[in-house]
Each structure stands twice: as C-alpha cells, then as structure tokens.
A and B are shown apart, each in its own frame.
Chain A
Amino acid sequence: MRRIALPAAIVALIVLAALILPALLPWSHDAIDWDHVRAPAGSPGHLLGTDELGRDRLARLAVASRITLLVALAAALVSMIVGIAWGMVAGWAGGRVDEAMMRIVDVLYALPFMFIVIVLMVVFGRSILLVFVGIGLVEWLTMARIVRGQVMTLRQRPFVLAAQASGAPVRVILWRHILPNIAGVALAYLTLTLPGIIMIESFLSFLGLGVQEPLTSLGILVKEGADDMDVAPMGLLVPGGVMVTLLVCLTLIGERLRDRFA
C-alpha cells in the first residue's frame, strides 16, 4: 500500500480543499470585487489574485475542483454499476448470450464516442448531472470487458462450483461469491475511469459545451486562463496545475491498484 499512499494523500488534500475552502473564504466564486480587478497573486484578501472580472481566483478554483470531482464521481459510479452488471451477466451466462452482449460492446467501442457525448449535451443541455450520468452510461465498456473476464475464470473455481452444487440460487452466488472477488479489480478500474471522465468534462467545458456559468469547472478555468494567458499566465498555470496533479495522482493510484489485483 505504500506506493499508493503519496498520490492518495495528494488527492485527499485536493478533495478536502475543494470541500472546505469555499466556506472559509470571504468571496464566493462568482462575487465581483470591483475595487480589485486583475489583482496579482498574493494581494491582501485574494491569495491567488482576481481574474479579469474581479472574481477571486482561489474561490473559483475550489468551486471548480468541487464540481469537477462531483461530476466525475457520479459518472464513474454509473459506469461501474452498468459495467459490472453487464460483465457479470455476460460472463456468467456464457455461450450465445455472452457472444451477443460482447458484440454490442465491440460495436459501441467503434462509435465516435465524443459525438455521442456532444449530442447528449445538446439533448440534456441544462442538467449537468444528467449529462454525466450519460457519459457514465457510455463509459462502462472497459469495465464490462474486465468484469466478464474475471467472472469467467471465477465460475470455474471450486468454491463457486461448491456453492452451485449445494443448490445456492444464481442471485446468491453472484452477490455473495462473485461480487466480493471482483471488487478489487472493479475499484482499480473505477479509479482509472475517474481521470478519463475528468478529461471528458474538461474537454467539453473547454469547447464551451460542458458546465455553464455561473457554475464553473477546472476545464472552464483552463479555458479562461488560456484565453487570457498573455496578460495573466497564473490564470492558466494554477488551474492547469491542479488538474494535472489530480489526473496524474488518480492514474498512479489506479495503475498500482490494478497491478495489485489483476
């Protein structure tokens, strides 16, 4: 567990800051301080300065991280539930059912995925959480493949055969014997799904399709910073740095968990 401790601590720190900071700061993320527009970092009252509209950068960063994390978690949970359910049914049923279910996964893999997300954005528009439920529903493919593979090996194992022989119903076998054994791998892939979804969210926000004002997200902050980088490079460097740290740490945790369980 030691190789996971450092990145996990950094992620925990970011999560904690995103949860607590907005309550501690005197400025909300969309309040305008008319007297201090474009304040440099370190000005009194504005630790990271203010942006071109006089909004406190630190407050915006905290709220943005909070929304990015929330949305990623929601989408990743949906993808995990759908992926596990699909993979367990396919892996347990085997034969034709398995063949058909995995062909569907193959075809969905070949879809130009970003387009589906863009259309989802257009259809669901205002409700950001719904959109990420949508992303989660499209992002379950890898999880389904992994879980199916695990279930196929598990169902040959003696303890599963014993449970079957003793007449346990399928529901109980899947829930009590299979699920706990795929939990580790599922957790590893859940961690690996998170950075992917954060990237999709930021990608969409960067193109102006994701989270809408007055809400903000890391993608929006990076976009704003990139538009304004010749005047205020910190506006790009700080949110970009937080996002990259988050992505790298989550990827490292996920990879190391996967190496452990798979």
Chain B
Amino acid sequence: MRALILRRLFTAIPTLLLVLLASFALMRFAPGGPFDGERPLAPETRAALEAAYGLNLPMGEQFALFLRRTLTGDFGPSLVYRDFTVTQLIADSLPVSLTLGGLAILLALVLGLAAGTLAALRPGSWADETLMLGATLVTALPSFVTGPLLALVFGLWLGLLPVGGLGDSLISAPQFWVMPVIALALPVAGAIAKLARAGLAAALAQEHIRTARARGLSTGAIVLRHALRPALVPVVSYLGPAAAGLLTGAVVIETVFALPGLGRYFVQGALNRDYPLIMAVILLYAALIIAFNLLADLIYGWLDPRSRA
C-alpha cells in the first residue's frame, strides 16, 4: 500500500510539471497581456509595470521563478486584483468551492448508489427501465440548464429557496447550498447510477451469490455483504473523471448562483491574463484531479484485494 502511494506520488510530479509547463506556454504565447486595458498605457509605464512583476525576464527564468515561489507556498501578487496576493484570493474562495464540490459528490454517491441498487435488484423490470432512463436524462442535463431552471422554479416561482449568494456566513445558511449542490450533483449521480447498476447486476449473477441465496440470506444482507463490494469497483474508477467534471461544472454553478468560489477566478484569470492567478488555479485543479485518482486507486485496492499486487 505504501509502495503504491509512493509510486503514484512519484509519477504525479512529472505530470504536474508537464501540466504547468503546457499551461504556462499556452498562456504566454496567447496574444494579449495583463496590462491591455481600455486605454493603452504609455510605453514607459508598461515597461515599469512589467519590470515590477518580473514579466520582462526571459520565459525560462520566469517559469523557474514561478516554480521556486510555488514550492514555498507563495503564488505571487495578482496582476489584476492589485491589492491582493494570489494566496489570499485562493484562501478566501477555496473553502466555498470545496464545500460545494464535497457536498455534491456525497449527494451524487448517495443518489447514484441507491438508484443503481434498486435497478439492479430487479433487472428488466419497470423500475429498472425508469431509473436508468432517468439516469441517462440527468447525465445529459447540463448544469447551466438545470441551475437556472431550479432557480426559476424554487427561487422565483415558489419562493422556497434563495436564488443566489451565500448570505452572511457559511454555516448559518444551509438553504443557500441546496440548489447549487443539487444542480452540480445530478449529472454525476446519473453516471454513478449506471455504473452501480451494471456492476451490481454482474455481481448478483455470480455463483457465490446464488449460494448465499440458497442458504437463506436476506436480499439486504446479500447486497450489502457480498455483492456491493465488487460492484463498487467501476464506480470508484469513475471518481477521477467525476472530479474533473465537478470542477468544470462548479465554474458554471458558481456563476449561476453567485457563489464566491474558485471558478470565477479560473475564467476571469484567463480572460485578464492574470498569469500568477491562473497558474495557481490550474495547479490546484490538476493537483485535485491527481489526488482524486490516487484516492480512487487506494479504495480500489481495498475493494478488490487482487489488484494490490
């Protein structure tokens, strides 16, 4: 187990470096710059600004500087939000995004596993067909359609939930989280339901399940004790891609529901050419995706001992 973690961390480093190098190069060779405002700056002013932020150094040196800084946890100053360091911006917004993403993945797991199990218990039945059609439906629903739709129905028409924002604090206002979390979780829940159904149906068709049934075990005990564990394997390997999907979905959901999370810095940073900000956000995203894949591998090994070799 420890060897696996070490090996994965070891391969994670070159992957991260590659991601950073590729994004750095793409970003820098794209036309435009952080100081291209409505009004063109005087050449001296621009030169002074670029010197102040170290943008006049050769590209290689800038990248090295960025890496050195990052290792000490310092992402540098934001080029656009002038009074803030990137570290401050991220420290303020990351908890919001993590709460949103964490709640969404929990909800998706609960909904998806429940629907998948119900469907797999009676393959070919009316319930199975309906649940799986529903799963396809919510998987195909983009969050930028479900988000505004939920806001329209529950926020504006029924007036049950706030349309956006976070209120004054995070803990005191759970109602602010309901719609964003549901809108973000639905597509992932649909995908999990399909994987869980396929895995569980295959597991339930095996010999040892028939034996357990013949010995008089209840359906609940069979599913929980014998069938669910192997059935979870495909669900767990989906966690990596799911994390990536949640991250992009969160960008839209945070815009729709006006949540002060990391997503808006992602888009705004790229548009404004706020180099330090966008590099920090990409580093976080890539690290999160890699961490999720590692987590998936660890759970995978626990679920299926044969894969531990």
Contact = CB atoms under 8 A, between A and B. Distances in A.
Contacts of B145: 222, 240, 243-244
Contacts of A240: 145, 148-149
A112 interface: yes
B25 to A, nearest CB: 10
Contacts of B289: 110, 112
Contacts of A203: 142, 144, 248, 252
B142 A251 contact: no
Given A122-B30, A122-B271, A248 B142 contact: no
B79 interface: no
**Interface majority SS on A: helix, strand, loop or mixed?**
helix
Interface string A213-228: 0000001001101100
B140 A122 contact: no
B270 A236 contact: no
B270 A118 contact: yes
Interface residues of B, number: 43
Contacts, number: 110
A252 B194 CA distance: 13
A202 B136 contact: no
B176 interface: no
Nearest to B32: A122
Contacts of A140: none
Residue among B27, B144, B156 with max Cβ neighbours from chain A (10 Å): B144
A111 B286 contact: yes
A114 interface: yes
Interface in B156-207: 156
A71 to B, nearest CB: 15
B18 interface: yes
Contacts of A251: 136, 139-140
Interface string A94-120: 000000000000010011111110110
A230 B156 contact: yes
A30 interface: no
A114 B148 contact: no
A110 B30 contact: no
A136 interface: no
Contacts of A207: 251-252, 255, 267
Contacts of B137: 248
Contact of B148 (A111, A225, A250): A225
Chain A, interface size category, equals: 35 or more
A252 B129 CA distance: 13
A206 interface: yes
A37 interface: no
A195 interface: yes
Given A110-B290, A236-B149, A243-B142, A115 B270 contact: yes
Contact of A229 (B19, B31, B151): B151
A115 B268 CA distance: 11
B152 A236 contact: yes
A233 interface: yes
A137 interface: no
Nearest to B29: A123
B256 interface: yes
B19 A110 contact: yes
19 contacts: A110-B286, A110-B293, A114-B266, A115-B278, A122-B31, A202-B144, A203-B252, A206-B255, A222-B148, A223-B144, A226-B144, A229-B156, A233-B156, A236-B148, A236-B149, A244-B140, A244-B142, A248-B141, A251-B139
Given A114-B248, A222-B144, A247-B142, 10 more contacts: A112-B282, A115-B285, A118-B270, A119-B30, A122-B32, A209-B267, A222-B148, A229-B151, A248-B137, A250-B140
The 9 closest A-B pairs by CB, nearest first: A226-B148, A247-B140, A112-B285, A248-B140, A240-B145, A119-B26, A251-B140, A206-B144, A118-B270
